[in-house]
């Protein structure tokens, strides 16, 4: 058992002049609330699959790396963050977790549950841009990147299926797989399926996501 997160997340926050603090693993509800009441924003990072029973489905044979303690803690953290109005950025598992917390569902294994898909799990030897996403023009994501399409990296075999309450789909891969969701009522919530923290040094435009979070965090702090 260990607790932590990839150093790429920490460095991405630092580059945007934020101060990263990790939420203690396995924290109870009181500890989660106390930590978030002291925070100005939150990132839900990548990781293993959200347990399917949390959204009312039996497990797919190809689901893996489930962690019930992490699910319980992070689902509570989503609820508290939304209650407090904290700016939220979700990454990979994070987009899936946020969607489930708001009543949505997931495709548990893209290759076996969606026909005619492109490759979504990179097998490259180094971080790389793997496929293209198409972006809704009147979205927060489009405003951040100033484009209607974007090449992204990709490390996932699950994805959003039915969006949760209060969420809007604002980008999809060209096979229809959902890649970005955000608030449908202008709350500071943005969640993406790719891993910007991994490639922001080589592709600096991805740093905009962390710049956005820190800017929103400063507004929240005031």
pLDDT tens track for 156-187: 999 999 999 999 999 999 999 999 999 999 99
CA 2 to chain centre: 21
Task: List, for residues 28-64, the tens digit of each pLDDT value.
Answer: 899 999 999 999 999 999 999 999 999 999 999 999 9
- pTM for this one? 0.97
Question: Distance between CA 27 and CA 220 in Å, rounded?
Answer: 24
Let me know if 194 is a catalytic residue. Answer: no
Question: Distance between CA 100 and CA 94 in Å, rounded?
Answer: 10
**What pLDDT shows up at residue 1?**
57
Let me know if 92 is a catalytic residue. Answer: yes
**Domains with residue ranges and CATH for the chain:** 7-221 (3.40.50.880)
- Which residue out of 120, 131, 156, 195 is catalytically annotated? 195
- Which residue out of 74, 76, 182, 197 is catalytically annotated? 197
Let me know if 195 is a catalytic residue. Answer: yes
Question: Distance between CA 221 and CA 12 in Å, rounded?
Answer: 20
Which among 153, 149, 143, 187 is positioned nearest to 168, based on CA atoms?
A: 187
Tokens representing residue 56 in the block: 């009312």
Question: Distance between CA 196 and CA 121 in Å, rounded?
Answer: 15
**What pLDDT shows up at residue 82?**
98
Q: Which residue has the tokens 């939304």?
A: 82
- Which residue out of 74, 92, 182, 216 is catalytically annotated? 92
């Amino acid at each position: 058992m260990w607790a932590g997160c990839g150093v790429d997340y920490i460095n991405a926050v630092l580059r945007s002049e934020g101060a990263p603090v990790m939420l203690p693993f396995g924290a109870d509800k009181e500890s989660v609330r106390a930590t978030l009441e002291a925070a100005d924003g939150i990132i839900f990072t990548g990781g293993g699959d959200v347990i399917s029973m949390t959204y009312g489905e039996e497990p797919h044979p190809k689901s893996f790396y489930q962690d019930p303690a992490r699910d319980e803690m992070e689902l509570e953290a989503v609820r508290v963050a939304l209650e407090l109005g904290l700016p939220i950025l979700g990454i990979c598992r994070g987009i899936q977790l946020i969607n489930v917390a708001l009543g949505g569902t997931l495709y548990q294994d893209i290759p076996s549950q969606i026909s005619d898909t492109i490759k979504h799990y990179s097998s490259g030897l180094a971080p790389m841009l793997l496929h293209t996403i198409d972006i809704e023009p009147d979205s927060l994501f489009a405003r951040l990147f100033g484009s209607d399409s974007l090449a992204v990296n990709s490390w996932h075999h699950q994805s959003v299926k039915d969006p949760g309450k209060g969420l809007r789909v604002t980008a999809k891969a060209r096979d229809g797989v959902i890649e970005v969701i955000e608030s449908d009522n202008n709350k500071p919530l943005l969640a993406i399926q790719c891993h910007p923290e991994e490639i922001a040094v080589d592709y600096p435009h991805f740093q905009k996501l962390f710049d956005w979070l820190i800017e929103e965090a400063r507004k929240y702090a005031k």
